[in-house]
Amino acid sequence: MPSFSVAKDIAQRLAAAIEVRGGAVLCVSGGKSPIALFEALRVQPIDWSRVRVTLTDERCVPCTHPDSNARLVLQHLLQDRASAAQFVPMVAQTSEPLPPPFILAQTASLALQAAGRVDVLVLGMGTDGHTASLFPQAPNLVEALDLNNREACVAIELPEPPANAPYARVTQTLAQLLSARHIVLPLSGADKLATLRLARLSISNLYPISHVLHQTQTPVALWLNE
């Protein structure tokens, strides 16, 4: 799954959206996995000035924090040609203290709604089957996965957050993720592919990504590196 091939496919979809609607919205995930994709995507020859970029989820830290997904996107995606794109962060504050997570989720919902419908949504998946910040152990996972939930974002406060990112989070709900026109899911590594095989068997809250894989509302393109 060369990152260049995925990047080229995303760029073509964004260019088509620009041609039809005069602009495009790209939503991406954070973490280390998409960095190579970001660096391949940022040099694609499209009219980036007509692209809005936003996030699937964010840690409840200032957007300048080293662990912020916003900072990752600014460093690795919004460079070169993509520096002309407009970035719509989920957490816009640059310093602490931050408002409570539920307030950040409300603010993020408004920002995403203002950004417009997403044309291309780039999801990731953890070895535990989470996607965005829809973790299987989240106390409010059922609410976040409810397709009747009209909130674009919810706060996620894990009882045992990952040691490398021990923060509360804000994440798009499943309904908001599926409102995108097209979903891209690039995966690599034997551990993630093993989780994917389990998630493709049936819908289960043990594997939140399964709710994306088993729906028929939004097309999902799997890019797998065996």
Q: Are 78 and 51 in contact (CB under 8 A)?
A: no
For residue 99, the 8-state DSSP code is P
Per-residue confidence (pLDDT) for residue 226, from 0 to 100: 65
Distance from C-alpha of 224 to C-alpha of 226, rounded to nearest angstrom: 6
Contacts of residue 174, Cβ cutoff 8 Å, sequence gap at least 6: 134, 144, 145, 146, 147, 149, 208, 211, 212
**What's this model's pTM, rounded to 2 decimal places?**
0.97
Question: For residue 117, which amino acid is it?
Answer: R
Question: What pLDDT tens digit does each residue of the chain (226 aa) get?
Answer: 479 999 999 999 999 999 999 999 999 999 889 999 999 999 999 999 999 999 999 999 999 999 999 999 999 999 999 999 999 999 999 999 999 999 999 999 999 999 999 999 999 999 999 999 999 999 999 999 999 999 999 999 999 998 888 999 999 999 999 999 999 999 999 999 999 999 999 999 999 999 999 999 999 999 998 6
The torsion angles phi and psi of 156, rounded to 5 degrees, stand at -120, 120
Query: What are the residues facing 57 on neighbouring strands?
Result: 171
Query: What are the residues facing 222 on neighbouring strands?
Result: 185
Tokens of 51: 């692209």
CATH code 3.30.465.10 for 3-225: no
Per-residue confidence (pLDDT) for residue 94, from 0 to 100: 96
Tokens of 114: 């203002």
Per-residue confidence (pLDDT) for residue 1, from 0 to 100: 46
Distance from C-alpha of 57 to C-alpha of 64, rounded to nearest angstrom: 16
Distance from C-alpha of 118 to C-alpha of 114, rounded to nearest angstrom: 11
Strand 220-225 vs strand 86-87: parallel, antiparallel, or unpaired?
A: unpaired
| Tokens 């894989």 -> residue | 213
